[in-house]
Amino acid sequence: MEYLLQSHFTWWNFFMVAIALLASYFILQFTKQVLKNTQFTGEARMPILDGVERLLVFYEPLVILLLLSAFVLVNPFFHGILVVLIVVGSFTHIKNYISGRIMQLDKNVSVCNRIRVDKQTGVISEMGRLGLKLKTDKGIQYINYSKLMKDGFMLLSGDEIGGYYRLKITPKDPKEKVNYPLQLMDMFATTPYLDWNYKPTLTQTNEENLALNAKIMVRENGHLQDLVKLIEERGFTCNVK
């Protein structure tokens, strides 16, 4: 029994494992950000980005599990008891975290999409590790993932609410050497119509005309047409999707 409680796994081994796991995790995160922000418009970008995002959904909890296992191996008895206490004390958070990992596999549950939970209808404004924030006409409501999995929800389509919109923005006279995403973000930074509680996002399509998909939140729904007019005055065509 005493032999089983002894371990040849040292703190040095633990730190080496931790460095390797965390380094690979940050490399994947960096790759994800590069693919999101790159100007590369080839057809391979979106499938690769989708693959990296799905890999991260599983890889993050795997890193946590392996780090906890390595921590226990350093001192099986005492560290094992400590980990059990942490797991028991954090069971609700762990349940929400696992539910969130499962929900992230569904691309329809993402920021800017509309859902109905119980009697609340709104737009997802933020997705965290333990829950999401739902923007409704009454304000921001926080809902944990366990509740969503238990009570269920409905994805909605149709007109946007709460000031969230998707736009397709295309240069009227496209030129390959012009950085249109930077040009648009500079314009967004100076316009009074946007609500910067939600940062605008721009992603390039695979079309040859350098079209961009934008997700934005305006301060008031009436500001949408003013924003569209401003974009068109800057040399773009703008359509609400």
Which CATH code, of 2.40.480, 1.10.3470, 2.30.30, 2.30.280, is assigned to 114-156? 2.30.30
Quote the percentage of the chain above a pLDDT of 70. Answer: 87
Q: Give the tokens for residue 101.
A: 């990992």
Between 4 and 8, residue with greater pLDDT: 8
Quote the percentage of the chain above a pLDDT of 90. Answer: 20
Work out the mean pLDDT of the chain and round it to a whole number: 82
Residue 157 reports pLDDT greater than 70: no
Between 49 and 40, residue with greater pLDDT: 49
Residue 39 reports pLDDT greater than 70: no
For residues 66 and 17, the answer to whether their CB atoms sit within 8 Å is: yes
Mean pLDDT on 44-59: 82
Predicted confidence band at 159 (pLDDT cuts at 50, 70, 90)?
A: very low
Q: Which fold has domain 164-240?
A: Alpha-Beta Plaits (3.30.70)
How high is the pLDDT of residue 4?
47
Closest CA to 167 of 241, 231, 232: 241
Separation between Cα atoms, residue 139 and residue 134, nearest integer Å: 8
Residue 75 reports pLDDT greater than 60: yes
For residues 109 and 123, the answer to whether their CB atoms sit within 8 Å is: no
How high is the pLDDT of residue 26?
93
Predicted confidence band at 67 (pLDDT cuts at 50, 70, 90)?
A: very high
Q: Tell me the pLDDT tens digit for each residue of 77-101.
A: 898 899 999 999 999 999 999 988 8
Q: Give the tokens for residue 117.
A: 């939970």
Question: Of the segments 12-16, 105-109, 154-158, which one has the largest average pLDDT value?
Answer: 12-16
Residue 1 reports pLDDT greater than 70: no
Closest CA to 206 of 43, 32, 38: 43
From residue 146, how far is each of 92, 129, 149, 202 by CA, in Å?
9, 12, 5, 31
Backbone angles phi, psi at 138, to 5 degrees: -100, -5
Q: Give the tokens for residue 64.
A: 């946590």
Mean pLDDT on 54-62: 90
Q: Any idea which of 7-16, 32-41, 108-117, 148-157 has the lowest mean pLDDT?
A: 32-41
Q: Tell me the pLDDT tens digit for each residue of 108-140.
A: 777 777 788 877 777 787 888 898 888 777 778
Task: Give this prediction's pTM.
Answer: 0.65
Separation between Cα atoms, residue 193 and residue 67, nearest integer Å: 46
DSSP 218: B
